[in-house]
Amino acid sequence: MSASIPRPDALAVPGSSPMVPGVAYVNLGCRVNRVETDLIADELARAGLEVLPEEEAQAVVINTCAVTAEAEAKARKAVRHAASLPQAPLVVATGCMANLFADELLALAPNVVVERDKSRVPTAVLDGLGVGALAVGDDGELLAERIAHATPTPTGRTRPGIKIQDGCDNRCGYCIVWKARGVSRSVDALRVRELVLRSLDRSASEVVLTGINLGVYRSSLPDGSKIELPGLLAWLLDTTPVGRIRLSSIEPPDVTPELAKTMAASHGRIAPFLHICLQSGCDATLFRMARIYDTVLFRTAVEQARSLLPQVSLGTDLIVGFPGETDEEFERSLSFCREMGFSRMHVFRYSRRPGTPAATAPGQVDLHVMAARSARVRQLAREMREREAERLVGREDLVCVQAPLRGVSGGLFDVMLDVECPVDEMVPVCVTGVASDGTTLLGHVLA
Q: Write out the chain's pLDDT in tens, 447 residues.
A: 433 333 333 333 333 334 578 999 999 988 888 888 988 988 898 888 989 999 999 999 999 998 888 888 999 999 999 999 999 999 999 999 999 999 999 999 999 999 999 889 999 999 999 876 544 433 334 333 333 334 556 655 668 889 999 999 999 999 988 888 899 999 999 999 999 999 998 888 999 999 999 999 999 999 999 999 999 999 999 999 999 999 999 999 999 999 999 999 999 999 999 999 999 999 999 999 999 999 999 999 999 999 999 999 999 999 999 999 999 999 999 999 999 999 999 999 998 888 899 999 999 999 999 999 999 999 999 999 999 999 999 999 999 999 889 999 999 999 999 999 998 899 999 999 999 999 999 999 997
pTM of the predicted structure, to 2 decimals: 0.82
Whether residue 111 is found in the same domain as residue 182: no
Whether residue 355 is found in the same domain as residue 319: yes
The domain that holds 40 is classified in CATH as 3.40.50.12160
Whether residue 170 is found in the same domain as residue 136: no
Tell me whether residue 50 is in a domain. yes
Which amino acid, 260? A
Q: Which of 146, 168, 199 is the last residue of a domain?
A: 146
Tell me whether residue 151 is in a domain. no
Instruction: For residue range 352-410, list pLDDT tens digits in order.
Output: 888 899 999 999 999 999 999 999 999 999 999 999 999 999 999 999 999 889 999 99
Say how many domains are in the chain: 3
Whether residue 356 is found in the same domain as residue 437: no
Whether residue 297 is found in the same domain as residue 191: yes
Tell me whether residue 162 is in a domain. yes
Residue 51 belongs to domain spanning: 9-146
Tell me whether residue 153 is in a domain. no
Whether residue 88 is found in the same domain as residue 171: no
Instruction: For residue range 11-29, list pLDDT tens digits in order.
Output: 333 333 345 789 999 999 8
Tell me whether residue 358 is in a domain. yes
Q: SS3 string of 357-393?
A: HHHHCCCCCCHHHHHHHHHHHHHHHHHHHHHHHHHCC
Q: Which of 370, 391, 412 is the last residue of a domain?
A: 391
Tell me whether residue 1 is in a domain. no
Q: Which of 391, 409, 436 is the last residue of a domain?
A: 391
Whether residue 191 is found in the same domain as residue 251: yes
Tell me whether residue 152 is in a domain. no
Whether residue 102 is found in the same domain as residue 246: no
Whether residue 326 is found in the same domain as residue 437: no
Whether residue 167 is found in the same domain as residue 110: no
Whether residue 400 is found in the same domain as residue 347: no
Tell me whether residue 62 is in a domain. yes
Whether residue 202 is found in the same domain as residue 338: yes
The domain that holds 364 is classified in CATH as 3.80.30.20
